[in-house]
């Protein structure tokens, strides 16, 4: 008897589960190069292609019954509050938060893989894991970049993330406990807009989307 595979989405039911799976599945699929040396990879049967299991990042999005707007990581789990699901306006906004958290998880590992180390050295971060909820501007910049590529690779428009963070920046500082730990200064949003443009150019040129 094979060990059951960990679920992509946990502790969510009904329409929440359907929604989270719809967003999570493309985020965790076909990202071996990003996940292999961080959270790890597992092979999951693909009902559409029984003979070629799909590679999936080994992480779980867990819904936590909590009113605040929250997103956090615990080991290979990304915790999302029910308050967050109520706060986001659409799937693109929810995908933006999920991709951002996932990017932190991929980046802030004790032994980041080569491309993550390169990315870190170009933007001034070391690759060491920092305990939450310490806010580190360099880690945020790194997570922003990787998250926009994760969104694009999942078939979403990274410009939606720029719109989301612009909206977050316009909220009063006490509007969200999570936002307090994720300051979104104008230069961070400008940098994301530049990354979204870079991704659009890569796509137009048919280039691979490597962060």
Measure the N-to-C terminal CA separation of the chain; round to a whole number of Å. Answer: 38
Characterize the bridge pairing of strands 41-46 and 49-57. Answer: antiparallel
For residue 125, what are the CA distances in angstroms to 3, 77, 93, 105, 141? Answer: 37, 23, 26, 15, 9
Which lies closer to Zn ion via its Cβ, residue 57 or residue 165?
165
Closer residue to Zn ion in complex, CB, 55/195: 195
Supply the minimum distance, in Å, between the C-beta of residue 179 and Zn ion: 10
Least Cβ distance, residue 172 to Zn ion (angstroms): 20
3-state secondary structure 13-25: CHHHHHHHHHHHH
Q: Tell me whether residue 55 or residue 116 sits nearer to Zn ion (CB atom).
A: 116
As given in the structure block, the two tokens for residue 53 are: 């299991």
- How far, in Å, CA of 148 to CA of 198, rounded? 10
Select 98 or 196, whichever has its Cβ closest to Zn ion: 98
Nearest distance from residue 181's CB to Zn ion, in Å? 7
Question: What's the closest the beta carbon of residue 83 comes to Zn ion, in angstroms?
Answer: 17
Residues in the site for Zn ion, rule: CB under 5 A?
140, 143
- Min CB(180)–Zn ion separation in Å: 12
- Count H helices and E strands in the chain, helices first: 9, 6
Q: Which of 119/143 has CB closer to Zn ion?
A: 143
Return the number of the residue (55 or 145) whose C-beta is nearest Zn ion: 145
Q: How many CA atoms lie within 13 A of 189 on its CB side?
A: 16
For residue 133, whether the previous peptide bond is cis, meaning omega lies within 30 degrees of 0, is yes
- Minimum CB separation of residue 167 from Zn ion in Å reads 16
Of the candidates 45, 66, 28, 27, which has an alpha carbon nearest to the alpha carbon of residue 156?
A: 27
């Amino acid at each position: 008897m094979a060990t059951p595979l960990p679920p992509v989405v946990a502790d969510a039911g009904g329409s929440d589960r359907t929604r989270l799976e719809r967003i999570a599945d493309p985020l965790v699929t076909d990202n071996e190069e990003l996940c292999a040396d961080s959270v790890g990879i597992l092979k999951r049967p693909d009902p559409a292609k029984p003979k070629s299991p799909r590679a999936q990042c080994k992480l779980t999005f867990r819904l936590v019954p909590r009113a605040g707007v929250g997103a956090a990581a615990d080991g290979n789990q990304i915790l999302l509050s029910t308050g967050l699901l109520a706060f986001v306006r659409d799937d693109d906004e929810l995908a933006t938060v999920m991709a951002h958290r996932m990017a932190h998880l991929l980046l802030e590992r004790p032994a980041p893989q080569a491309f993550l180390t390169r990315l870190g050295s170009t933007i001034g971060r070391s690759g060491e894991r920092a305990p939450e909820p310490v806010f580190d501007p360099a880690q945020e910049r790194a997570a922003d970049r990787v998250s926009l590529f994760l969104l694009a690779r999942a078939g979403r428009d990274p410009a939606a993330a720029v719109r989301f963070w612009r909206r977050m920046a316009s909220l009063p500082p006490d509007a969200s406990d999570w936002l307090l730990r994720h300051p979104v200064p104008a230069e961070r949003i400008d940098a994301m807009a530049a990354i979204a443009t870079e991704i659009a150019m890569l796509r137009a040129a048919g280039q691979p989307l490597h962060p």
